[in-house]
Amino acid sequence: MKISEDTLKIISQLSKLEIEDVMKDKILKELESILLMVDKMNEVDTSKIKPMSHPLNQAQNLREDIISENIERDKYIKNAPHSDNGYYLSPKVIEQK
């Protein structure tokens, strides 16, 4: 299956990865080989098999609704490149308002 340059552009935008021009061919080939593998897997007849979302045949353990988290904001916030007065700061996100 062929991947167009436009698709590659969208994928890189979605994944927030910048792909240099010199890398494009290599990455296109790699992505195509992944899709080839998927095609290969699709050859297997799975029509009689129940779909499975997770490899473990187990059920979720649930938590009681209690508050027990110790929140150390000032410690966590040191991980952020920018912060002020208990807020995390990000580059301005301008929504069309």
Which H helix or E strand runs over 69? none
Quote the tokens at residue 9.
């552009």
**Residue 5 makes contact with another protein by CB under 8 A:** no
Q: Which stretch binds another protein (CB under 8 A): 22-30, 39-47, 86-94?
A: 86-94
Q: Which of 1, 7, 10, 38 binds another protein (CB under 8 A)?
A: 10
Q: Which stretch binds another protein (CB under 8 A): 7-15, 25-33, 40-48?
A: 7-15
**Residue 41 makes contact with another protein by CB under 8 A:** no
Contact 32, 40 (CB under 8 A): no
Cα angle 82, 86, 89 (rounded to 5 degrees) comes to 30
> CA–CA separation, 29 vs 42, rounded Å?
20
> CA–CA separation, 29 vs 27, rounded Å?
5
Minimal distance, residue 67 CB to another protein, in Å = 5
Minimal distance, residue 39 CB to another protein, in Å = 19
In the complex with another protein, which residue's Cβ is closer, 22 or 92?
A: 92
